[in-house]
Structure 1
Amino acid sequence: MISYLQVENLSKRFGEQLLFENISFGIGKNQKVSLIAKNGMGKSTLLQIIAGKDSPESGSVIFRNDITIGYLEQNPALQEENTVFEEVFSSDSPILNLIKAYEKAVAQNDLRQLEELLPQMDTYNAWDYDNTIKQILSELKINTYEKKIAHLSGGQRKRVGLAKVLISNPDFLILDEPTNHLDIEMTEWLEEYLEKSNVTLLMVTHDRYFLDRVCSHIIEIDEFGLFTYEGNYSYYLEKRAQRIETRNATIDKAKNLLRTEQEWMRRMPQARSHKARYRIDNFYKIKEIASQKTDEKTLELDIKGQRLGKKILELEHISKSFENHTLIQDFSYKFVRGEKIGIVGKNGIGKSTFLNIITQNLAPDSGTIEIGETVAYGYYKQSGIQFQETDRVIDIVKNIAERIDLGNGRVLSASQFLEYFLFTDKQQYSLVEKLSGGERRRLYLLTVLMRNPNFLILDEPTNDLDIVTLNVLEEYLKSFKGCLLIVSHDRFFMDKVSDRIFAFEGNGIIKDFPGNYTQYKNKKEEEEEQRQKEQKKQTTQQAAVQPSGPTDKTQKRKLSYKEKLEMQQLEQEIEQLNTEKTDIETALNSGTLSNDQLLQQSQRIAKIIELLDEKEMRWLELSEI
């Protein structure tokens, strides 16, 4: 296999904290690799070093010389003054430079340049690539081409960054949490896109379905070292469990053997024979193995929730619109204790609006909301909360409560509670600015849960959390006795936790579906397949069947009635396309079109040329019969 990347003995510290030490691995051409590690162990830092955005303390990163590299950061560094169009096309890719030159020639009415570029567009199949670009932009819902980067939200910036790196079509793609800020539909499209692509991939993701279906190799970094697995996420889970079991057994065996060797060391004769020296050396090796930890420290969530009464939350005929755009239309529902509801739908379709109405942060246009007297909300917002960078972690918790009641008679101090959430003594007295993105999310989750809510609302809780924390959170939510309402694009998380789905399907329609996300998706696909079958059946029944008489095989076949109609239709369509082509050429040469219009018209003329070739070829086939 051709080597594309070789990492040798890489080490990095963040202040006094050691992130990783002497790690080595390689990635070959066409391999798709996922990097797994707990929050705070330097996953993003490692990607930055590999991408050349940061420097290691020691070690080397070597790429194959003749390959191009694309890198998507968690928070993409984009040029604030660029428009979306300028940013997306800011690449050194030869084919992108060709498309940009063509667009520039169109904008400047440079006919001589256009005459030179059009054959090149054909030679390099740039029209096809242009269609791929349009598909990427369309699937990621990027359509505000003239908007400045500085005016985009965090989610829009992430999608623009993702579009930019995909459009550059690199040989080696590095992605840091690519599904953050994507809705489920976008995530499934990206999953399929990467799965079919021949690109070599290294990524960090918490989306386990995405990881399972895209990646063929996994690299895991933990406190015990670096481990590689040739397989997807399901295979990794199996082999990791076997590795830990084998390692624990080795440590237990060493502990048992150590007792015997320690006794020998205590009563060892002073004679320095070769055999004695060998046994002494072996004793220290056994002692080193036996002193290792046999299990990993994991987060265990078991937090008391306040008592929830019979009446919880009742919505009656709720409706909400913004600027004549209906987000919620006449929705009613009575919540029941213990139910766990997942909310799915495209970005901007009204999910967060729904949560804000439920929590009375936003009033509906019509309808009523009744909240039970015992309801205590715990609202984990997608935006999170802004911690003061100079605050200490422990002070943030103490400002909420000095002591936390876990139920069953267990009460923890602020420091003990932080340790319960895997914050070490050193981290507790560290400043917030030193926390990783995932550690900040864990701290935020802690501040929500420590108030003992009985109605949990989680808006995209999986962003930036590591897979280990997600597994623990899932187990906690499964046993949560109160009501649970989750917005998430993480399908694995939704399947494991939710038993009901509110599907926002657009135009204010919210479909109430009993089951998890995969069951909902399968049901929708079955309904769509059935609809297409019915449509095909109707089309077949309506199609006219033309009688055909005997023909002389030695004579040239005549056009059938249907073919004659097709030929007439083709002549009309070719004439219309040529007229449209002439009109667009006139408009392009007028110098009066905006950048958006120039882009749309240049894309349209490329499509017209393609259609004309196709229809003229078919007309020639029919004319030769």
Structure 2
Amino acid sequence: MGSIEANNLSYALPGGRVLFKDVNFKVGDGHHVALVGINGIGKSTLFRLIAGDMESKSGHVRVDGRLGAMTQFADRDPKMTVRRFLLSYSPLVIQNAAAELATAECAVEKEATPESNLRYANALSSWGEVGGYNAEVLWEQCTTAAFGRSLEEVGHRPVSTLSGGEQKRLALEVLFRSDADVLLLDEPDNFLDIPGKRWLEDKMNASLRTILYVSHDRALLANTSSRVVTLEAGGAWVHPESYFTYETARRARLGRIEEEQKLFRHEKDRLNTILKEYKRKSAYNDKFATKANSMEKRIERFERDNAPRERAKEQRIKMDLGGGRTGKIVFKADNFAIPGLIEGLTTEVHYGERIGVVGPNGAGKSHLLRLLGGEEIAHSGEWKLGARVDPGLFSQTNDRSDLESIPLVDIIRSEGLDLTRAMSGLKRYELHPEAQNRFESLSGGQQARFQLLMTELRSPTMLLLDEPTDNLDIDSAEALERGLAAYQGAVIAVTHDRWFM
């Protein structure tokens, strides 16, 4: 089958900051290993190193077997069709044959000459020889499983019109049906509805492939992992069991590190006390000067050879979402419908309520929240917001071209905050080290935290949250839960996070 081995792997960001160093782990044949760590620690970067899309500062990665990989973010390229999306998961030889076939078809359509017809015939022959027709059979199976529609029906549909969950399901269908021996899955459960998450768990558990995956879904981690690799404190360590026992093991490990650091400090203090005494006595006895020099060298060797492991820095994220008093009814719908998605919705949402919106991918949940947030969405029936309701929308996709190319601190200051208050807000969300970085350079989880901070600063009196925990690490998700518990106002959340609900 396949395996992954990382040896002394290190990576530094542009500017020199080391993201991680001396990372060592192995994913054995047929193992399903979870890669966990806080937002921005370098999980997606490590995946790109394994996939060969980036080069490490030092060390090396070895992958035995055919590799298939899925990235974290949904595709929002308006030119990307379902067919091209599926093609992007095919071997390069098929992608090249497809490009030649498309070029030859265009040439024939433009002018049917003996030369263009011959080129087209040769392209069709090559398409069959490299397995193109077999690939189309596979794609047909994928679209049927994901949407219940044939490739012919949906092949030319823009991928950007699919929900995030539909895109994820399509990518997972093609990967699990492929001939890949090793799968890299970067947050494969993001955007999936609850049946989709259960389907993914079943697929993973039934698979004989070697799988390394990133997820923040605690239920999925516990149900699918055979061991856990953790990126933290600039390095990595391996828990040899499933995530079900991970938290207990991590607490015990942190306790051991604290004890190591305590013993190290105690011994270093003892040696320094002796050194000070030698230096004091050397003022009137030269032999103590020699002893002092020897002790200084001994301390240097001790610090070099006995330095304790670094303890992971705790995140102290505090979300102060605020809110405000509104009328009793904050949202009312009467026979409301979004054509093809939602039919006959009649309901009321009251001040202070926490409403969870669930349903299958593509059912219109995000459309509903976007409409309530002020976006123009075609609909019928009646709906209205109540008195003093000012909605704040958090989007599931992190698709914020309006925030690109601007340092985070400047985005915050554009909301009317001075530098001190802007930095204070970033610090509460553990984003202050990224203050001069741009939104697009952040990890998915950091982008989500920053958008929550922006929502907080605008003081909405009703929160509209579209999959808010999908990219958040566990510390951030728990901070959001605490923030929502204290929020003064109604919350309408689309979520498939079983713990969050």
Say yes or no: TM over 0.5. Answer: yes
**Paired residues of 1:393 and 1:430 also in contact (CA < 8 A):** yes
**Paired residues of 1:80 and 1:148 also in contact (CA < 8 A):** no
Give distance in 1, aligned partners of 2:464 and 2:312. Answer: 33
3-state DSSP of counterpart to 1:50: helix
- Alpha-carbon shift at residue 371 of structure 1 (Å): 0.6
Match of 1:398 among 410, 413, 427: 413
Q: Give the 5 Å matches for 1:448-459.
A: 448-459=455-466
Q: Which amino acid aligns with 1:296?
A: K
Structure 1 residue 254 corresponds to structure 2 residue 303: no
Which residue in the other structure is 1:221 paired with?
231
Q: Give the 5 Å matches for 1:146-295.
A: 146=152, 147=154, 151-153=158-160, 155=164, 156-268=166-278, 269-272=288-291, 276=295, 279-281=298-300, 284=303, 288-289=307-308
Match of 2:151 among 145, 164, 167: 145
Give distance in 2, aligned partners of 1:383 and 1:86. Answer: 20
Q: Which amino acid aligns with 1:198?
A: L
Question: CA offsets per residue over residues 82-121 of structure 1, 9 Å max, x none?
Answer: 8369728845899xxxxxxxxxxxxxxxxxx9xxxxxxxx
Structure 1 residue 341 corresponds to structure 2 residue 348: no
Q: Which amino acid aligns with 2:346?
A: F
Q: 1:311 to 1:212 in 2, by over 3 A?
A: same
Structure 1 residue 317 corresponds to structure 2 residue 325: no
Q: Give the 5 Å matches for 1:581-620.
A: none
**Paired residues of 1:139 and 1:186 also in contact (CA < 8 A):** no
Structure showing greater Rg: 1
- Alpha-carbon shift at residue 424 of structure 1 (Å): 3.3
Q: Which amino acid aligns with 2:239?
A: Y
Give distance in 2, aligned partners of 1:215 and 1:298. Answer: 25
Structure 1 residue 472 corresponds to structure 2 residue 491: no
Match of 1:491 among 481, 494, 498: 498
Q: Which amino acid aligns with 1:18?
A: V
Match of 2:427 among 419, 436, 444: 419
- Alpha-carbon shift at residue 458 of structure 1 (Å): 0.6
- Alpha-carbon shift at residue 252 of structure 1 (Å): 3.3
Give distance in 1, aligned partners of 2:6 and 2:306. Answer: 31
Point out where structure 2 has 5 or more consecutive residues left out of the alignment.
95-124, 126-133, 279-287
Give distance in 1, aligned partners of 2:52 and 2:302. Answer: 44
Which residue in the other structure is 1:308 paired with?
325
Which residue in the other structure is 1:124 paired with?
none
Q: 1:210 to 1:383 in 2, by over 3 A?
A: same
- Alpha-carbon shift at residue 263 of structure 1 (Å): 2.2
**Paired residues of 2:81 and 2:159 also in contact (CA < 8 A):** no
3-state DSSP of counterpart to 1:29: coil
Matched pairs, number:
448
Match of 2:72 among 53, 62, 74: 74
When the two chains are superposed, the root-mean-square deviation of aligned CA atoms in Å is: 3.7
Which residue in the other structure is 1:296 paired with?
313
- Alpha-carbon shift at residue 346 of structure 1 (Å): 0.9
Which residue in the other structure is 1:386 paired with?
401
Which residue in the other structure is 2:114 paired with?
none
Which residue in the other structure is 2:489 paired with?
482
Give distance in 1, aligned partners of 2:82 and 2:373. Answer: 38
Which residue in the other structure is 1:47 paired with?
47
Point out where structure 1 has 5 or more consecutive residues left out of the alignment.
95-112, 114-126, 405-411, 495-625
3-state DSSP of counterpart to 2:192: coil
**Paired residues of 2:86 and 2:139 also in contact (CA < 8 A):** no
Q: Which amino acid aligns with 1:327?
A: I
Query: Which one scores higher on RCO, CA 8 angstroms, separation ≥ 6?
Result: 2
Q: 1:256 to 1:72 in 2, by over 3 A?
A: same
Give distance in 2, aligned partners of 1:433 and 1:381. Answer: 15
**Paired residues of 1:70 and 1:165 also in contact (CA < 8 A):** yes
Which residue in the other structure is 2:57 paired with?
57
- Alpha-carbon shift at residue 391 of structure 1 (Å): 1.1
Question: CA offsets per residue over residues 104-145 of structure 1, 9 Å max, x none?
Answer: xxxxxxxxx9xxxxxxxxxxxxx9x99998765444226352
Match of 2:391 among 360, 377, 392: 377
Give distance in 1, aligned partners of 2:473 and 2:142. Answer: 28
Q: 1:288 to 1:321 in 2, by over 3 A?
A: closer
Question: CA offsets per residue over residues 375-434 of structure 1, 9 Å max, x none?
Answer: 332211224432443211111000013159xxxxxxx61112112222235x21233343
**Paired residues of 1:88 and 1:164 also in contact (CA < 8 A):** no
- Alpha-carbon shift at residue 296 of structure 1 (Å): 1.8
**Paired residues of 2:40 and 2:446 also in contact (CA < 8 A):** yes
Q: 1:11 to 1:86 in 2, by over 3 A?
A: closer
- Alpha-carbon shift at residue 345 of structure 1 (Å): 0.4
Give distance in 1, aligned partners of 2:315 and 2:267. Answer: 28
Give distance in 1, aligned partners of 2:85 and 2:424. Answer: 51
- Alpha-carbon shift at residue 8 of structure 1 (Å): 0.8
Q: Which amino acid aligns with 1:185?
A: P
Match of 1:328 among 338, 343, 354: 343
Q: Which amino acid aligns with 1:393?
A: L
Question: CA offsets per residue over residues 228-263 of structure 1, 9 Å max, x none?
Answer: 112222311111112112222332343344433332
3-state DSSP of counterpart to 2:270: helix
Give distance in 2, aligned partners of 1:76 and 1:61. Answer: 26
Q: 1:43 to 1:32 in 2, by over 3 A?
A: same
Identity between Structure 1 and Structure 2 (%): 26
- Alpha-carbon shift at residue 357 of structure 1 (Å): 4.4
3-state DSSP of counterpart to 1:490: coil
Give distance in 1, aligned partners of 2:10 and 2:85. Answer: 39
Match of 1:445 among 440, 452, 459: 452
**Paired residues of 2:11 and 2:58 also in contact (CA < 8 A):** yes
Structure 1 residue 32 corresponds to structure 2 residue 32: yes
Name which of structure 1's ranges 482-491 and 153-162 shifts more when overlaid on structure 2: 153-162
Give distance in 1, aligned partners of 2:325 and 2:74. Answer: 43
Give distance in 2, aligned partners of 1:386 and 1:131. Answer: 37
Q: So what's the TM-score if we normalise by structure 1?
A: 0.64
Give distance in 1, aligned partners of 2:49 and 2:374. Answer: 45
